[in-house]
A = this chain, B = another copy of it.
């Protein structure tokens, strides 16, 4: 029934970073899109609940959700420890799927368990082979190379507004944040970008996602908004040397507030106008 990614064309795959709380019972636009990218109802979806503190329940829950979308061929890949992530059986299960879904939970747990393991290499191989990887909430944050672990709410920029750590590095150019406007997280994303201006900050609302393609193009889907923070030309003042609790100046950030259907090129750092096709730039 299913087509494993190893058998698909070698076009680079897509990554869905979901801002959490995606609709699972009504229109389910984001999950529908994930299923479509994974080959539709005939796809095989791996559910990876590693970030969750209740992984078995979480996997069972998403199994039902995907069944509701017509995908019967789902595999719970039971990776909870690094030992699990090094098991050939689990890596092979991931390789045999057309889509991988990383649940929410704790992004640090996810990265600690998964980074530089056989399971992780299987996910990467799947992407190269044209598969799709989706992560929601903590799963989305973990795609970053510099990852947001936690922080304060609000608009203000202060060094202690964000706690950064090492992520999986699946999308190195972006620092991804989630539950974005719902949890009022612009200040912490600005603070992250002030420290790493070469990366783009991407804040994703609940029930909203970016679809990230191999050519560096982002597409926005879902009912909320995506906030892109570009600090390449910004000047920070008071970031270094002052107490971590002190607000600092950040001047000249470029902000893009995007809605469903918008496309953005992370290489040129510009929104694409309707009809405009991005250059076929390979960014990762």
A residues near B (Cβ < 8 Å) are 154-157, 180-181, 184, 186-187, 190, 205, 224-225, 227, 235, 237-238, 247-259, 262, 270-271
12 contacts between A and B (CB under 8 A): A154-B181, A155-B227, A156-B257, A235-B271, A237-B259, A238-B259, A248-B259, A249-B258, A250-B257, A251-B258, A252-B271, A254-B255
Cα(A180)–Cα(B154), bound, Å: 10
Residue among A224, A235, A251, A256 with the highest chain B CB neighbour number at 10 A: A251
Residue of B nearest to A223 (CB): B247
Residue of B nearest to A231 (CB): B255
Residue among A237, A247, A262 with the highest chain B CB neighbour number at 10 A: A247
Cα(A258)–Cα(B190), bound, Å: 13
Residues of B within 8 A of A257 (CB): 155-157, 190, 249-251, 253
Cα(A227)–Cα(B247), bound, Å: 12
Measured CB to CB, the closest approach of chain B to A72, in angstroms, equals 35
Which residue from B157, B238, B256 sits with its C-beta under 8 Å from A251?
B256
Residues of B within 8 A of A156 (CB): 181, 205, 224-225, 257
Measured CB to CB, the closest approach of chain B to A244, in angstroms, equals 15
Q: How many chain copies does the complex carry?
A: 2
Cα(A258)–Cα(B235), bound, Å: 11
Contact of B255 with A157 in the complex, beta carbons under 8 Å: no
Cα(A248)–Cα(B259), bound, Å: 6
Residues of B within 8 A of A253 (CB): 254-257
Given contacts A252-B271, A256-B252, A259-B249, contact A186 B155 (CB under 8 A): yes
Cα(A157)–Cα(B225), bound, Å: 9
Cα(A250)–Cα(B227), bound, Å: 10
Residue among A187, A258, A259 with the highest chain B CB neighbour number at 10 A: A259
Measured CB to CB, the closest approach of chain B to A96, in angstroms, equals 39
Residues of B within 8 A of A181 (CB): 154-156, 187
State the 10 A-B residue pairs at the shortest beta-carbon distance, nearest first.
A155-B181, A251-B271, A251-B256, A250-B257, A253-B255, A255-B255, A249-B259, A157-B257, A247-B259, A156-B181
**Beyond known contacts A156-B257, A251-B262: 19 more, CB 8 A cutoff:** A154-B184, A155-B181, A155-B227, A156-B205, A181-B187, A190-B257, A224-B247, A225-B247, A237-B262, A249-B257, A249-B262, A250-B256, A251-B271, A252-B255, A253-B255, A253-B256, A253-B257, A254-B254, A255-B255
Cα(A38)–Cα(B190), bound, Å: 37
